[in-house]
Amino acid sequence: MNFIISSSALLKNLQSIGGVLNTNNSLPILDNFLFELQAGELTISASDLENTMKTSVRPDEAKEDGRVAIPARLLLDTLKNFSNQPLSFHIDSSNFGIEISSDYGKYKLVGQNADDFPKSPEIDNPNALTISGDIISNAIEKTLFATGNDELRPVMSGVFCQFSSDQLIFVATDAHKLVKYGRSDAGASQSADFILPKKPLNLLKQNLTGEEEVSLSYNETIARFNFGSIELTSRLIDGKYPNYEAVIPVENPNVLTVDRLSFLNSIKRVSIFSNKTTHQVKLKVAGSELTISAEDLDFSNEAKERLTCNYAGDDMEIGFNSKFLMEMLNHINTQEVILEMSEPNKAGILLPAENKEGEDILMLVMPVMIR
């Protein structure tokens, strides 16, 4: 197996799939990239058993088809230290010896048998749809931060995808906050729902430009994304997602509209003085005035700020975790935001003052009880 390829082109392709690699692998073969040369095309794969990522590139010159597993870390570290130049790879199929030749010299390393590398799973009876990369990257951006980290509740550590003919819905929650991101400008031929894990979502986020078309095929256990020269296959999270609709309050008569950046910056400053366990800030709304306050009784620290706002409803005081509020405000892009509330012990709903066409964003945050 012999081929010549540009060092920068190879490095770019390896870095696009390198995020799949784990630092500690139970199987030593997973510390390698799988190189497969066939009909002048080089396919490179990386896997952690749960996720497999592939990329294809055409070498400048290719002779003798073949397959070999090459140590990933060693290859990446070597390529990072080259200026752009052609590299010649010569692989001895009898002992998996690899020789790389550059303008500077030669480098030898030993690969492994490609047959030991795990095969990418097949998807039986898949559903399929083509979706804009912009929709997927926006959905990931808006929901991923709200996923949970509780190992005892694995279904909440991913993003719930609910597809129907007239809309796509993506939901994430950790039981303290919830984000529902909907698109009415896209749909699937068949209704389906599944839970995508965090890792493949991060890999998609890193690789999507937003301008490409993404082919998604999925069944009850596996999802596969194809875009550009990249293919990502991931095992879905097994389990039933909680009924998120049940926790979204329907009647919210108290509606606060406020400038997003002013609100965010005020919470940032005031929260410095909050209790380090609860991170509680209090919002007190009366007329057109919003008072944001925090106190840490253990250290006698307190802070208070006032903002002007538009408010319709009864005067009320409610407490929230400032970290959750700040995260949500950072993931809304409009100039103004709307906070809908019913009672101090019920969840607040945070919405952008205006949605982009075809887009629907709802964020929910649970209150922190005021002592």
Give tens-digit pLDDT for 184-228: 998 888 899 999 999 999 999 999 998 899 999 999 999 999 999
> Which residues lie closer than 8 Å to 315 by C-beta, 6 or more apart?
284, 285, 286, 287
Q: Are residues 315 and 271 in the same domain?
A: yes
Residue 370, in any domain of the structure: no
> What is the per-residue pLDDT for 210?
86
Q: Are residues 237 and 341 in the same domain?
A: no
Report in angstroms the alpha-carbon separations of 312 from 285, 339, 354, 364.
10, 11, 18, 19
Q: Are residues 330 and 343 in the same domain?
A: yes
Question: 67, 95, 116 — which closes off a domain?
Answer: 116
- In our burial notation (b when 16+ CB lie closer than 10 A, e otherwise), range 92-128 reads eeeebebebeeeeeeeeeebbebeebeebeebeeebe
Residue 217, in any domain of the structure: yes
* Residues of the chain below pLDDT 70: 371
> What is the per-residue pLDDT for 371?
67
Place of tokens 């993404």: 214
Question: 245, 269, 296 — which closes off a domain?
Answer: 245
Q: Are residues 278 and 266 in the same domain?
A: yes
The domain spanning residue 211 has which CATH number?
3.10.150.10
- Counting residues of the chain whose pLDDT is more than 70, the rounded percentage is 100
Residue 291, in any domain of the structure: yes
Residue 371, in any domain of the structure: no
Question: 188, 213, 245 — which closes off a domain?
Answer: 245
Q: Are residues 153 and 91 in the same domain?
A: no
Residue 121, in any domain of the structure: no
Residue 111, in any domain of the structure: yes
Q: Are residues 34 and 81 in the same domain?
A: yes
> What is the per-residue pLDDT for 331?
96
Residue 360, in any domain of the structure: yes
Q: Are residues 323 and 217 in the same domain?
A: no
In terms of residues, how long is the chain? 371
Q: Are residues 150 and 221 in the same domain?
A: yes
Q: Are residues 227 and 312 in the same domain?
A: no
Structural domain count of the chain: 3
Q: Are residues 294 and 223 in the same domain?
A: no
Identify which of 146, 140, 328, 338 has the alpha carbon closest to the alpha carbon of residue 255.
338
Other Cβ atoms closer than 10 A to 223: 22
Q: Are residues 265 and 230 in the same domain?
A: no
Phi, psi (deg, nearest 5) at residue 245: -60, -30
Report in angstroms the alpha-carbon separations of 179 from 1, 101, 126, 331, 363.
50, 51, 28, 10, 4
Do the Cβ atoms of 68 and 35 come closer than 8 Å?
Answer: yes
- Structural domain including 139 reads 127-245
Q: Are residues 86 and 174 in the same domain?
A: no
Residue 209, in any domain of the structure: yes
